[in-house]
Amino acid sequence: MSDSARSSLPCVVLMNINGNGMGHMSTCLAYANRLRGRARPVFFSLASAIEIINDMGFEADYLVSRFWSRASSWAWDQQLSQRLGMMFERVRPQAVVFDGTWPYRGLLHAASAYGVPRLVWSNLTLYKKDMHEVPVREDNFDLVIKLGELSSSFSVERDSMPGRSVTIPPFTMLKDEDLLGRDAARDELGLNRDGRYVLFSLGPGNLKDISGIGRGLIDGMTQSGYTVVWARAPISSTDVPLPEGVIPLTQFPLLRVMRAFDVFVAAAGYNTCCEVLQSRVPTLFVPNTQVADDQTARAHLVAQAVPAVVSPCETPEQRANAVAHLLAIRTKVKTDAPTIDLHGAEHAADEILALINNG
């Protein structure tokens, strides 16, 4: 986009938290994709995946995440405030969207100090029951976007501002037409059109040591006649060593090529679950229990709509049962599956633009 084109569109700064995964960045990319041509999205990312943002056509800056930094919260927030201030004064945003669990003090201070016209908080809804309530008032924000789970449709919880609150249905980064079909995806990946392939995406390897579970499942799938393709997250600090015969794959977003695979083995992050809903690839979910959101509950919701198995896979028996179950259901079509609305990102973009245009 040329500078003159950029300057004619309202600027929206998207700030995504992250440190261990790319889920929040994926959410912001989904919003940015739907804002394209109607606004100028600029990213302030705590996820160390700036080239991915650039490759999708957006500008971005980076600050080391609080999860990775040894700085105190106070010191880190000071850095955040100063650096956001520099970005705001350069790009002059009409709105700032924060996607994350806990809006940082540094963000709130910088937004207030600059005078950001409109502040938006985007957040999950399905957290674990024992998670402490976030001590940030929703009326600090002009708009709160709550990411609904499988059964959610668009709804307005509170119409008045500040603190207009809406729930949006699930969404993915890509539109349906952006997904490759089975053969085209296999050709792109260099896979045999007639082979049997399973894709593994168990997380970035930064938070949960997945090597034990992963190895056990690889063995189970291999013994069942499948070739294993292991997705390596772009921001892993270390790579899980792979057994011989396993094909590594570094691609983002995976969604574009997911239909190349007969089955999928994955953690149950929000974006992954949405991608399973969109691609309809039969899936074994191995929920990550070390994160704030309730992945187990989410995985069970997805299993109502697509052929899916949910298992912690922590013991050999659990893994064997899970693999057997997955292969037994993979060709079954759920005739009573609910209709799924995956247009949440469109709703979010429309809400953000309405906020800018109508104030």
Partner 1 sequence: MAASLKEEINALERHLRELAAHTDDELVERYLIKRSPRPKGIYWQLRGMVGTVLRWFQAKWPWRPDPWPVSLKKQPTDAQAKPLLVWAVGTSRETLREACTSLSERWDSLPGFAPVLITDVADFAFFSRLGWLVEYLPRLAGQGEPYEERKLKYLARLYRGAPVIPVTAGLKDCEGIKTGPAANLWRA
Q: Given the rule CB under 8 A, which residues bind partner 1? A: 3, 6-7, 42, 48-51, 54, 59-62, 64, 67-72, 74-75, 77-79, 81-87, 89-92, 105-106, 109-110, 113-114, 206, 234-239, 250
Q: How far is Cα 94 from Cα 353, in angstroms, rounded to an integer?
A: 10
Q: How far is Cα 319 from Cα 315, in angstroms, rounded to an integer?
A: 6
Q: 159 φ, ψ to 5°?
A: -90, -25
Cα torsion for 289, 294, 299, 305, to the nearest 10°? 180
Shortest separation between residue 151's beta carbon and partner 1, angstroms: 35
Shortest separation between residue 138's beta carbon and partner 1, angstroms: 20
Please say which residue, 86 or 324, places its beta carbon nearer to partner 1: 86
Q: How far is Cα 177 from Cα 74, in angstroms, rounded to an integer?
A: 45
Question: Taking the CA of residue 289 as centre, how many other CA atoms within 13 Å lie in the half-sphere pointing to its CB?
Answer: 9
Please say which residue, 3 or 130, places its beta carbon nearer to partner 1: 3
Q: How is residue 41 written in tokens?
A: 């999205």
* CA distances for 271 relative to 25, 242, 274, 326, angstroms: 10, 25, 5, 21
Shortest separation between residue 14's beta carbon and partner 1, angstroms: 13
* CA distances for 201 relative to 138, 177, 251, 286, 357, angstroms: 34, 23, 11, 10, 40
Please say which residue, 2 or 339, places its beta carbon nearer to partner 1: 2
Please say which residue, 7 or 357, places its beta carbon nearer to partner 1: 7
Q: What is the CA radius of gyration of the chain?
A: 21
Shortest separation between residue 64's beta carbon and partner 1, angstroms: 6
Helix (H) / strand (E) containing 158: strand 155-158
Please say which residue, 167 or 288, places its beta carbon nearer to partner 1: 288
Please say which residue, 115 or 245, places its beta carbon nearer to partner 1: 115
CB atoms within 10 A of CB 315: 12
Largest CA distance in the chain: 61
Shortest separation between residue 66's beta carbon and partner 1, angstroms: 10
Shortest separation between residue 113's beta carbon and partner 1, angstroms: 5
Shortest separation between residue 121's beta carbon and partner 1, angstroms: 19
Shortest separation between residue 324's beta carbon and partner 1, angstroms: 36
Please say which residue, 51 or 187, places its beta carbon nearer to partner 1: 51
> Using CA of residue 172, residue 126, residue 147, residue 14, what is the dihedral sign?
negative
Please say which residue, 43 or 285, places its beta carbon nearer to partner 1: 43
**Three-point CA angle 221, 227, 228, nearest 5°:** 70
